[in-house]
Structure 1
Amino acid sequence: MSDPTREALVQLRKTLDLLALQQPVSTETKLEKAPVTEKPVKSKNYFEECSQEYIEFTYKNPTIYHVVQYFSKKLDEAGFTYVSEKSTWSDVKSGKYYTIRNGTNLSAFILGKEWKYESGVGAIGSHIDALCVKLKPVSQKDDVEGWQLLGVAPYGGTLNTYWFDRDLGVGGRVLVKDESTGKIESRLINSSPHPIAKIPSLAVHFGEPAIGPFDKEDQAVPVIGYASSDSQEDEEEENDTEDESRSPLYGKHPIGLLRYIGSLAKVKVSQIIQLDLDLFDVQKGTLGGLKNEFLFAPRLDDRLCSFSAIQSLIDFANEGPIPSNAFNVVTLYDNEEVGSLSRQGAKGGLLESVVQRVVNNLHGCDAAALRTTFANSIILSADVNHMFNPNFKSVYLEHHRPKPNVGVTLSLDSNLHMSTDVVGTAIAEELARLNDDKVQYFQIKNNSRSGGTIGPSIASQTGARTIDLGIAQLSMHSIRAATGSKDIGLAIKFMKGFFTNWRSVYDSFGDL
């Protein structure tokens, strides 16, 4: 089961035979006809525990590759079985499974033994890419009077002033060649807590040049070092070796950076074949506010909803036997921040592929069965949305000002940047009522522009009723944002209630 994008998981499963032995044993039971109300949270520290776990998660897993690896391990520990997209899935009949695409796109699902396509799918889709700065394919730049600079590109609208004067680490995927076998392997690196770069701002004393806007190519360039012209030590450090020159990246990136990457990956520079690396804020998240009402952290958009969705699926799976007619899915996507048009983005169709494979296994290659499945399905497009900022009250629509520590927020938009319709709104409200949750509402004012989500893409691709909702956060698209310290726990609770009750609630709406 070798997969170059998932080298950490290869070590956990020695052979395909061993993987087969790890198939979970499921004892099926019918779903209750009446909605089942979510049980109260077990621990009085439940919400703080959820937030603290999230803080550790996002600190230790700064890039999307790390995030997928982390979720994979959690799913393994919860008894889910990995299936490769490159296999036929002929043995996927019932149980708990997950698959990965590109190391940046993951879909996990629970399937009951008696599931019929007329029962549809209860799915949550979210995105796990986050705003970051990408290392350019050729990041080598000329020194400026001894200052060593690094060529980078913005991902999703970064390299603005939010990124100035931050401690930036480096991490991501490194492709390396095994010297003995010649095979190409994937290794993940993470420099945290060590920052390797900073984008320095210009002091206000310089007047107008310090005001901006700043040119992202020439004035938002990370500094990674300084070498004085008369430093023999620095000169010796920069002397290249014949062995290092065998790397195809030799001359494309600063040799000091390649050496640093090699040390993190535990390989020689000559073994480094290719890179997909991010610069990111290394500062760890924390609880804050006089009574710890808030959670302050980087990369909240949209690791918040992704973390909550995976945890809710695991919690649902661990609560008891798999309901016999259940089919619940969580799919996490890459590239939402740049339009989702990639094989690992929402428009790449991983959710649709998972559902189609299951339908084919159980009911044959019937296109009508697949369409019927989606017609009977509900998909939550879970993405962060705008929490009320008290310093800018006038920009928010009245009665659409989400607050912290209340509950998930429905995203609404009359111009269809969000997929929630009136029936979807009523369904979400009923799910919340049954689960003793609260929902909030957000819609942009007419004189502002709306952002977007994966919701409209998924709705149009599948024909399934799709509801846009998620956790509200302050400072969206900043390098460091905030949410309520209870909001992750509240989202996990709501999403688990969704998996429990969605089918019976949808049935009560008939053909709407």
Structure 2
Amino acid sequence: MTKQTPESLRARASNLSLRMQALSGPNSPAATPRPAKTPTAPRPNNKPIPTEFIIADMANRPASENLICAPCLSTIPPPNRPVIHHVVSTDTCRLCALRTGDPAAYTKPFCDFMTDNPTVFHTVAHFRAQLTDAGFEELPARASWSDRLRPGGKYWTTRNGSALIAFTVGSSYQPGNGVAMIAGHIDALTARLKPVSARPNAAGYVQLGVAPYSGALNSTWWDRDLSIGGRVVVRDPSSGKTSTRLVKLGWPIARIPSLAPHFGVGMTGSNNKETEMVPIIGLDNSDLAGTDAAAAAAAAAAEPIGPPGSFVNSQPPKLVKLIASELGLDSPSSILDWELELYDSQPAQTGGMDREFIFAPRIDDKLCSWSALTALLASSSSLDHGHIKLVALFDNEEIGSLLRQGARGNFLPQTIERAVESLASSSSTSVGTDVMARTYAASFLLSADVSHAGNPNFLSRYLDGHVPRLNVGLAVSADPNGHMTTDAVSSAILRRVAERSGCRLQVFQIRNDSRSGGTVGPMLSAAMGVRAADAGLPQLSMHSIRATTGSLDPGLGVKIFKSLLDHWEEIDAEWQ
């Protein structure tokens, strides 16, 4: 959720117990970090992969974590069948628990996802792989979609590698039918490497030039184990082709050291982010050597690792070589540019006496986004639906959504309009203003962004009756000044969605003497004219480098989001 300050506003004007079997694993530190999963090509001749297997990401898990009963194991195609230590009963089978919709069954998949996908680029790549495995077809932005879409089809498209839209088309779809939409964001507060990130040696430390993305480099970043990841632009010297590659280092490489209180300087005040929050990434004491040795070391450090004027010469040489090695490049000069960032490398894990919490970085807002995309994967395809089910995950929400991959861009309305046009062409229907107006009038948008859980140490800062709790359910967010898009109609619709799924809703509105955050809801609902509501799963420590949510909350999100996607057509009919 974006923090609203006077400056940002001006800029925008331009207690449940868990089954231990389901929670085993995420409490222990990750072993060797796994590379980002690459989307695989469709396998039309193979038996379909069970959705639950995909959601649990079992193909990328250690065999000891894959507790599967014999009936479920028989449904997995041999090429994707994991190595199993032992077959368990249905009572402890992870796939059976997911199939029943048990919220506790989603805890471990969510923690695995959070640990394995630290950047927005890794997140999109992960979801692309899941969608491809589930039989979704890619819709490249440059390709023609004409006559490509069909009722009953499943599709996804991306923009910039950092935003993704996935949707399914009901088998009874007709042009003008509505769209059940869930929109969220997958960017998070972070610190990104500057265009020139190399810095002079300082007291023997190799430092790294970084800039805060949104509200990062705040006081919660002191003394954290930080790693580096993101995407790298690479040119193949033999073919001349340019592509992007994902990278993440598997160990803490950076740290922003605090100053001991003995110096009389507080570390929780207004520290200078340019001069006092510079991460260290290594040591270089070559200046302490003899004159000849120091000169040789200085000459070696000054030796360019790329052609004159190249990007790699503006970065710490050892870091460039390290990234090149991680990517398996023959020469560091193959790197043309990169978008790398620091991230908390500590794994997501469960905590609390009954493991009722999840402690993790980047919960805002991979929590609602993961639950929404998982709900789309788990949504029913057996019902004779006539609407489109869609999940849109955006970048740049934390900085105002102004870029092309943000919600203020045309990504979502353009995707819907292209899809409707393609679907209409197969039914010989002419698409114009009337069809699109009917589509949007019959649609609903749930803007899903995390909400503030009640903090027991600061309850006086909350409105009475507006204190969301963990492990209870989605919190409907309201704001009379338009920072949220919820109104009486959309709130009533969400209550009906909750009734259909047996879910419980909570409410949140901030006090009059505080300032509300913002979401993608108002901008998207205004652009398309659709009915819309803002709601989110609760979390503690919003905008901290590490936050807390309930261990049931990811699964509770899947349950209610799936209800909206599956039941929208019937609920909408109640309003006609």
In 1, distance between residues paired with 2:406 and 2:430? 27
Residue matched to 1:313: 376
Q: Distance in 2 between matches of 1:466 and 1:382?
A: 11
Which residue, out of 476, 494, 497, partners 2:560?
494
Aligned match of 1:295 in 355, 358, 369? 358
Structure-1 residue corresponding to 2:311: 249
Contact 1:19 1:81 in 2 (8 A): no
Residue aligned with 2:562, SS: helix
Of residues 229-238 and 471-480 in structure 1, the stretch that sits farther from structure 2 once superposed is 229-238
Aligned-partner SS, 1:176: strand
Distance in 1, Cα, partners of 2:38 & 2:548: 36
Deviation digits for residues 169-195 of structure 1, max 9, x if unmatched?
000000111121011111100013x11
Which whole-Å CA distance do the structure 2 matches of 1:219 and 1:75 have between them? 43
Q: CA deviation at 1:236?
A: 8.5
Report the secondary structure of 1:390's partner residue: coil
1:346 paired to 2:407: yes
- The SS at the match of 2:493 is helix
Describe the superposition over 1:74-100 as per-residue Cα deviations: whole angstroms up to 9, x where unpaired.
001111011101111111123000001
Q: Deviations over 1:203-243 (max 9, x none)?
A: 11111454531011111111111111235699399546666
User: For residues 248 and 383 of structure 2, what CA distance do their matches in structure 1 show?
Assistant: 37
TM-aligned CA distance change 1:108 to 1:322, over 3 Å: farther
- Distance across 2 between alignment mates of 1:239 and 1:253: 12
Q: Note if 1:213 corresponds to 2:270.
A: yes
Matched residue, 2:328:
266
**Cα offset, 1:122, TM superposition:** 0.5
Specify which of 427, 433, 456 is matched with residue 367 of structure 1.
433
Matched residue of 2:464: which SS? Answer: coil
Is 2:184–2:365's contact at 8 Å kept on the other side of the alignment? yes
SS in 2 for 1:212: coil
SS across alignment from 1:244:
coil
Is the Cα–Cα contact under 8 Å of residues 331 and 350 in structure 1 kept in the other structure? no
Q: What SS is found at the alignment partner of 1:391?
A: coil
Matched, 1:284 2:347: yes
1:305–1:52: structure 2 CA closer, same or farther, 3 Å change rule? same
CA separation in 2, counterparts of 1:308 and 1:133?
26
Question: How far does residue 328 in structure 1 lie from its aligned partner after superposition?
Answer: 0.7
Say if 2:490 and 2:531, in contact at 8 Å, map to a contact too.
yes
Residues 1:436 and 2:502 aligned together: yes
Residues 204, 211 of structure 1: 8 Å contact kept? no
In structure 1, the partner of 2:80 is none
Distance 1:92 1:9, change over 3 A: farther
CA distance in 2, matches of 1:478, 1:8: 25
TM-fit CA distance, 1:198: 0.5
Partner of 2:393: 332
Which residue does 1:456 correspond to in 2?
Answer: 522
Q: CA separation in 1, counterparts of 2:405 and 2:247?
A: 21
CA distance in 2 between counterparts of 1:281 and 1:129 reads 14
* C-alpha displacement of 1:299: 0.4
Q: Distance in 2 between matches of 1:237 and 1:402?
A: 60
Residue aligning to 1:30: none
Residues 477-492 of structure 1: pairs in structure 2 closer than 5 A: 477-492=543-558
CA offset at residue 304 of structure 1? 0.4
Tell me the distance in 2 between the aligned counterparts of 1:463 and 1:179.
Answer: 49
Q: Which moved more, 1:195-204 or 1:244-253?
A: 244-253
Alpha-carbon distance between aligned partners in 2 of 1:484 and 1:8, rounded to the nearest angstrom: 26
Shift of 1:442: 0.3
- In structure 2, runs of 5+ residues without a counterpart are 1-34, 49-95
> CA shift at 1:338, angstroms?
0.2
2:196 aligned to 101, 122, 138, which one? 138
> What SS does structure 1 have at the residue aligned with 2:495?
helix
1:394 aligns with 460
Aligned amino acid, residue 66 of structure 1: H
Unaligned runs of 5+ in 1: 1-6, 25-39
User: Residues of 2 paired with 1:409 and 1:207: CA distance?
Assistant: 42
Change (3 A) 1:489 1:225: same
Q: Within 2, Cα distance between the matches of 1:483 and 1:141?
A: 38
Deviations 1:446-498 (A, max 9, x none): 01000000000001100001110111000000000000110110010001111
In angstroms, what is the RMSD of aligned CA positions? 2.4
Could you say which residue in structure 2 is the equivalent of 1:71? 127
Mapped pair 1:416 → 2:482? yes
Q: Deviations for 1:365-385, whole angstroms, at most 9, x for unmatched residues?
A: 302211221111001100001
Aligned identity (percent) is 40
Q: 1:178 to 1:497 in 2, by over 3 A?
A: same
**Which residue does the alignment assign to 1:29?**
none
CA distance in 2, matches of 1:366, 1:175: 40
TM-score w.r.t. structure 1 length? 0.89
Using the alignment, how far apart are the partners of 2:100 and 2:178 within structure 1?
A: 35
What is the alpha-carbon distance in structure 2 between the residues aligned to residue 122 and residue 67 of structure 1? 23
Measure, in 2, the Cα distance between the counterparts of 1:169 and 1:273.
21
Tell me by how many angstroms 1:46 deviates: 3.4
- Cα distance in 1 for residues equivalent to 2:332 and 2:209: 19
In structure 2, how many angstroms separate the alpha carbons of the residues matched to 1:215 and 1:42? 47
- The answer as to whether partners of 1:139 and 1:151 remain within 8 angstroms in 2 is yes
- Corresponding position: 1:173 with 2:231: yes
1:407 aligns with 2:466: no
- Aligned CA distance change for structure 1 residues 341 and 181 (closer, same or farther; 3 Å): same
Residues 147 and 492 (structure 1 numbering): CA distance in 2 closer, same or farther, change over 3 Å?
Answer: same
